[in-house]
Structures are given as structure tokens and as C-alpha cells.
């Protein structure tokens, strides 16, 4: 049976570092890390995410503000708010909760955020730095950053000689994951829905990252014996055994069959998810350290 990679435990470790380093920063410079979360509309899932981010920021000792705009808010109104936050010295991290309503251009909004406050790591300047191998000065998207810490805990910081396969090519997970693994000297392949012989390719991986958004797609016989499996997927599927209309959360990996083959595996829930919010806090602290011109902690 595979070793379970406990995302909650690792996230607590990251948050513990954030708290202690925040105390040091405030004591030395009087700078309190500030994060602004912007949400447009009343999407229930987004509301839950935003609330949990706000709670975690307060727990870390941050200055945390939330701006809620109506579903009908114009693109100009949202851009004006971002401009205001870009110019607010008390705010070091700006996070716009996605998805945005259809009438607002997401890309335009993300690129309007000051790259030095782009704690989600989606601005083209941060994307470009990561792609050019300069992860140290980039803000890395939180989910792949968290997944990378999980991989390093299993294999160390140098992945030389290891083969990694990332299933999924999104800008949020797949592509940055590829760049992080490559920077750590792994030999990396990115696969996706149009890849031929996907099962065979997956089976070649010492490190298999599933970020494709298809429930339980990766079966146990896709996994190389002893491989590290990082499941980034979060999918709701019907759970009739719990009662009529009930659902449960599963990943992109069929956990029960993969657990029997893998060397280490992340569960869903309780795997990569908690690490995502922890890395958002870490990025915000780093942004505050850079603004205060003091060395930022490593995670």
C-alpha cells in the first residue's frame, strides 16, 4: 500500500512558518502583510473559497480585506478597484476570485494586477519568469507550488534521473507544474486529452501528476509500481450510497486501485487542496518581504 501524503499536515507546516516569519517581519519593519480578495457576484463555491482564504489570512496575522462587487459590476469598475489596490501600500497581495461573470475579460483583469502583488502567479511577467527558469523571483501559482513541495518531501529538491508525467496542460496547473519539475532536473512530459497511448506514458512516470478534471480517470494500472502520484483533481460525483441526491469528492485518480500500486499518493480531499491556500499565504508573505526590502523565507 502506498504512503499517504497528508496535505493537511504539510499545509500546517507551511502556515506555521508563515506565522513565525510574519511576526519577525512586523517586529523588524512594522510591515504587516496585506491581502485583498476581490469577488464579483454571488457564486456559492467562490464565496466558500473566499471566506476560507480570509480566515487563513487572519490566522497568519495578515491585514485581510475583501471587496465584493455585484454580478452586474462593469469591467471598468473592477479595473478601477484593481488600480486602487495596486497603489495601496498596505496591500501586498491581490487575488481576484475566478471565474468572473461572462461580460468581464478575465485575462485583461489578471494582467491589470501589479506583477509584484500577483500572489496567484497568473500575470504574464510571473509566467514568463517561471518559464525562463527564474522560479526564485517569480510568484508561482499556488496549486503547483504546493504540489511541488509534496514531491520534494518524497524525492528531495534534485529530481535528476527521474521521469515525470503531467496529465493536463492548463495555465493554472499543468504548464507551471511542467516548468517546476523541469527546473528541478526531472525529465518531464506533458500529456493531455489528445495524447496517444496515455496509459503507457503514465506508466513510465516515477512522478505522475494528474490535473485533467476528469473524475477517477487515472486507474491503478496506469501507475508505475512505486511511483509518486499527485492528484490535483477535485470532482463531485453522485454518491447514492449516502442517500438520494448526495455527492462525494473524488480526484482525477482512481484512489483505491492506484493506492495499491503507487509508492506515495495524495488523497482527495485532504491532499493538494490544503496546500493551495497555504501557498497563497506564503506568496503574500514573500510579497510583503520584498516590499519591505528584507529577505523572504523559502518554502
Residue 6 to residue 256: CA distance in whole angstroms:
16
Closest residue by Cα to residue 19 from 65, 49, 66, 56: 56
Residue 70 main-chain phi, psi, to 5 deg? -65, 155
Catalytic annotation, residues: 53, 97, 120
Contact 172, 122 (CB under 8 A): yes
Angle between helices 174-183 and 142-155 (to 10 degrees): 40
- Relative to beta strand 163-167, strand 207-210 is parallel
Residue numbers in the known binding site for NADP(+) are: 168-170, 234
Amino acid at each position: 500500500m502506498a504512503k499517504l501524503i497528508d496535505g493537511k499536515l504539510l499545509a500546517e507546516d507551511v502556515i506555521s512558518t508563515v506565522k513565525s516569519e510574519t511576526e519577525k517581519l512586523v517586529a523588524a519593519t512594522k510591515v504587516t502583510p496585506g491581502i485583498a480578495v476581490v469577488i464579483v457576484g454571488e457564486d456559492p463555491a467562490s464565496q466558500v473559497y473566499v471566506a476560507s482564504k480570509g480566515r487563513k489570512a487572519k490566522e497568519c496575522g495578515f491585514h485581510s480585506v475583501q471587496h465584493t462587487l455585484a454580478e452586474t459590476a462593469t469591467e471598468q469598475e473592477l479595473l478601477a478597484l484593481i488600480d486602487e489596490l495596486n497603489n495601496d501600500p498596505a496591500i501586498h497581495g491581490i487575488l481576484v476570485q475566478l471565474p468572473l461573470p461572462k461580460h468581464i475579460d478575465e485575462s485583461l483583469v489578471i494582467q491589470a494586477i501589479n506583477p509584484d502583488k500577483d500572489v496567484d502567479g497568473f500575470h504574464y511577467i510571473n509566467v514568463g519568469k517561471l518559464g525562463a527558469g527564474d522560479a526564485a523571483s517569480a510568484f508561482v501559482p499556488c496549486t503547483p507550488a504546493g504540489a511541488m513541495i509534496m514531491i520534494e518531501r518524497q524525492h528531495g529538491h534534485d529530481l535528476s534521473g527521474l521521469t515525470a508525467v503531467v496529465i493536463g496542460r492548463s495555465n493554472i496547473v499543468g504548464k507551471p507544474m511542467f516548468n517546476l519539475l523541469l527546473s528541478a532536473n526531472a525529465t518531464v512530459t506533458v500529456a493531455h486529452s489528445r495524447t496517444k497511448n496515455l496509459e503507457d506514458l503514465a506508466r513510465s512516470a516515477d512522478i505522475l501528476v494528474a490535473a485533467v478534471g476528469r473524475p477517477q480517470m487515472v486507474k491503478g494500472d496506469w501507475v508505475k509500481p512505486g511511483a509518486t502520484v499527485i492528484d490535483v483533481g477535485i470532482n463531485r460525483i453522485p454518491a447514492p450510497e449516502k442517500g438520494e441526491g448526495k455527492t462525494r469528492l473524488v480526484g482525477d485518480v482512481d484512489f483505491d486501485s492506484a493506492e495499491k500500486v503507487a509508492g506515495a499518493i495524495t488523497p482527495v480531499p485532504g491532499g493538494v487542496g490544503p496546500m493551495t491556500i497555504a501557498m497563497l499565504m506564503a506568496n503574500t508573505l514573500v510579497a510583503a518581504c520584498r516590499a519591505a526590502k528584507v529577505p523572504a523565507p523559502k518554502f
